[in-house]
Amino acid sequence: MRIWRQLANRLVVSMDGPKPLRALAVVFVLILLVGCQGGGRHESWPGLLATDGTLYAANFERVQALNAETGRAYWSFPAEETRGVGPFYATPVLAADQGDNGILLIAGFDSTVYALALGETPAERPDELWRFTGAGGQYVGAGVVVDDLYVIGNGDGRVYALSIEDGSRVWDFTTRDRVWTVPVAVDDTLYVTSLDHRLYALDIETGDLQWQLRTQGAVATNPVYADGYLWIGDFSSTLYQIDLESREVAWSFQAEDWLWSTPLMNGNVLYFADVGGNVYALDIENRSMIWDAPVNIGDVVRGQPALSTDGGLLYVPGYETGVIRAIDTTTGQLRQTWGAVPENPGRLPGDLVMNGERLYAMPIMIPVRVRAYVPVTGDLLWAIPEAE
Amino acid sequence: MFDVVVVRPILNVLLLFYRLLGRETVLAIAMVTLVLRLALTPLQLKQQTSMKRQQEMAPKMEELKKKYKDDKEKLAQEQMRIYKEAGINPLGGCLSMVIQLPLMIGLYQAIIRVLATTPLQLLALPSDLYRWIPTFSALIPLRSHFLWLDLGVPDPFYILPVLVVITAWYYQKLLTPQTSDSQSSAMNKQMTIMMPLMTGFFAATFASGLAIYFLISNLVGILQYFLFRRHYTVTPAPSAVPSALPTKRKADRITKQRPKQAKSKS
A180: nearest Cα among A216, A210, A142, A144: A142
Which tens digit of pLDDT belongs to each residue from B4-36?
999 999 999 999 999 999 999 999 999 998 888
Give ∠ CA B106-A321-A304 in degrees, rounded to 5. 100
Q: Which of residues 178-207 of B touch A (CB under 8 A)?
A: 179, 181, 184, 187-188, 191, 195, 198, 202, 205-206
Asked if A9 and B94 come within 8 Å (Cβ–Cβ), the reply is: no
DSSP-derived secondary structure letter, A169: E
A173 confidence band (pLDDT: 50, 70, 90): very high
Residue A388 has pLDDT above 60, yes or no: no
Mean per-residue pLDDT of chain A: 87
Residue B246 has pLDDT above 50, yes or no: no
Which tens digit of pLDDT belongs to each residue from B61-108?
778 777 887 888 888 888 788 777 777 776 666 666 677 778 878 888
Q: Which residues sit opposite A63 in a β-bridge?
A: A58, A77
Cα separation of the two ends of chain B: 53
Mean pLDDT on A311-322: 94
Asked if A13 and B76 come within 8 Å (Cβ–Cβ), the reply is: yes
Percent of chain B with pLDDT over 90: 18
Kindly state whether A240 is in contact with chain B, defined as any CB-CB distance less than 8 angstroms: no
Euclidean distance between CA atoms B238 and B211, whole angstroms: 43
Top mean pLDDT of A20-34, A171-185, B30-44, B50-64 is at A171-185
Residue A12 has pLDDT above 50, yes or no: no
B247 confidence band (pLDDT: 50, 70, 90): very low
Closest CA–CA distance from residue B265 to any residue of chain A (Å): 30
Mean pLDDT on B221-250: 61
Sheet with A103-107, strands from edge to edge, namely A93-95, A103-107, A113-117, A127-132
pLDDT confidence of residue A360 = 95
Kindly state whether B133 is in contact with chain A, defined as any CB-CB distance less than 8 angstroms: no
Which tens digit of pLDDT belongs to each residue from B124-163?
999 899 988 878 888 999 988 888 888 877 888 999 999 9
DSSP-derived secondary structure letter, B188: H
Q: Is residue A194 left, alpha or beta, with left meaning phi > 0 and alpha meaning psi from -120 to 50? A: beta
Q: Which of residues 256-275 of A touch B (CB under 8 A)?
A: 257-258, 260, 275
| Higher local confidence (pLDDT), A342 or B172 | B172
Asked if A13 and B188 come within 8 Å (Cβ–Cβ), the reply is: no
Closest CA–CA distance from residue B12 to any residue of chain A (Å): 16
Residue B241 has pLDDT above 60, yes or no: no
Q: What is the ipTM of this complex?
A: 0.84
Kindly state whether A7 is in contact with chain B, defined as any CB-CB distance less than 8 angstroms: no
Q: Which helix (H) or strand (E) holds A34?
A: helix A19-35
Q: Which helix (H) or strand (E) holds B124?
A: helix B119-124
Asked if A258 and B137 come within 8 Å (Cβ–Cβ), the reply is: yes
Q: Which of residues 13-32 of B touch A (CB under 8 A)?
A: none
List Cβ neighbours of A141 (8 Å cut-off, separation of 6 or more): A89, A90, A152, A153, A179, A180, A181, A182, A222
Mean pLDDT on A192-217: 97
With beta carbons less than 8 A apart as the criterion, state whether A280 and A290 touch: no
Nearest to A218 among B93, B97, B140 (CB): B140
B73 contacts on A by Cβ (under 8 Å): 6, 9
B23: nearest Cα among B151, B210, B120, B164: B151
A326 confidence band (pLDDT: 50, 70, 90): very high
CB atoms within 10 A of CB B1: 5
CA closest to B150 among chain A residues: A156
B60 confidence band (pLDDT: 50, 70, 90): confident
List Cβ neighbours of B255 (8 Å cut-off, separation of 6 or more): B49, B230
Q: Which of residues 186-225 of A touch B (CB under 8 A)?
A: 195, 197, 216-218, 220
Question: Where is average pLDDT lowest: A34-38, A40-44, A78-82, B182-186?
Answer: A34-38
pLDDT confidence of residue B265 = 45
Which tens digit of pLDDT belongs to each residue from A86-119?
688 899 999 998 888 999 999 988 899 999 999 9
Residue B225 has pLDDT above 70, yes or no: yes
Residue A17 has pLDDT above 50, yes or no: no
Please report the DSSP string for A36-82 in residue order.
---SS------EEEE-SSEEEEEETTEEEEEETTT--EEEEESSS--
Kindly state whether A252 is in contact with chain B, defined as any CB-CB distance less than 8 angstroms: no
Q: Which of residues 144-183 of A touch B (CB under 8 A)?
A: 177-178, 180
A180 contacts on B by Cβ (under 8 Å): 119
With beta carbons less than 8 A apart as the criterion, state whether A67 and A53 touch: yes
Kindly state whether A88 is in contact with chain B, defined as any CB-CB distance less than 8 angstroms: no
Which tens digit of pLDDT belongs to each residue from A50-69?
998 999 999 878 899 999 99
Bridge-based pairing state of the strands A248-254 and A264-266 = unpaired
Q: Which of residues 356-375 of A touch B (CB under 8 A)?
A: none
Nearest to B94 among A20, A31, A197 (CB): A20
With beta carbons less than 8 A apart as the criterion, state whether A142 and A167 touch: no
Mean pLDDT on A3-24: 45
Residue at A360: amino acid letter: Y
Q: Which residues sit opposite A62 in a β-bridge?
A: A59
Closest CA–CA distance from residue A10 to any residue of chain B (Å): 7
